[in-house]
Amino acid sequence: MATNPVLACAPKNTRSSLHLIGLAGRAGAGKDTCADIMFSQHDFATTAFAAPLRREIISAFRIDGALFSVEQKERRTPALAINRCADSGFIQRMTELGVDLAEARSPREIMRWWGTEYRRHQNERYWTDLMRHWIDCMALDGIRRLVITDVRFLNEAQFIQSLGGSIWRVRRPVAEAKHVDHQSETEVAAIWPDAVIDNTGSLGDLAGVIEATLLDTFLTRGEA
């Protein structure tokens, strides 16, 4: 069988020297803020399972990527009504679930449905397979420190740990207090982390917690 070039970017041993960390936590916990600190102060490259998800949605709905900004993410817009989608498979899946196809939707709603009810329903490894390819490509390009900012499912955490990476759970009281009912938010509680980041103080406090946790992670693995 011919090798798919999309899934064979780099040999497996290029991952061996990669410091890989996945951030798990509720929406609003501060995962992106942690990643920004790791990027600016500790030379980590950043990526997300949601990166290809956003690209797929932008293409299928023919929308501007600016809709995924923090300011726009929760706002419903007619541009994201499901019946405007060019992907017939997504429309069919939403029809099966009894979702109103004509109602205006927010970027967050579409991302949840596309990522979980659509793609993960097709193949639970859909997003981890794409991430494996991306990690291999980044390792081949010389990236040695990488943080994945949006670990939400058990299989995503297990995937990262299978590559020798660590899972950090980011906690913030205001995020933990929110009622959640979608699998992409509720399954986070079932993930057993390697470390916990309590985001309860200032940015400086958070930076200090991250630095200490990085040191502990690398010392534990003999990589300091």
Enumerate the β-bridge partners of residue 90: none
The CATH class of the 5-49+125-220 domain is alpha beta
DSSP class of residue 80?
G
* pLDDT of 203 strictly over 50: yes
DSSP alpha helix (H) spans, 43-153: 50-61, 88-96, 107-112, 121-122, 126-140
pLDDT digits (tens, 9 = 90+) for 108-125: 999 999 999 999 999 999
Whole-angstrom distance, CA of residue 189 vs CA of residue 60? 31
pLDDT classification of 175: cutoffs 50, 70, 90? confident
User: pTM for this structure?
Assistant: 0.83
pLDDT digits (tens, 9 = 90+) for 53-76: 999 999 999 999 999 987 888 899
pLDDT digits (tens, 9 = 90+) for 183-202: 767 788 889 999 999 999 99
For the chain, domain boundaries: 5-49+125-220, 52-122
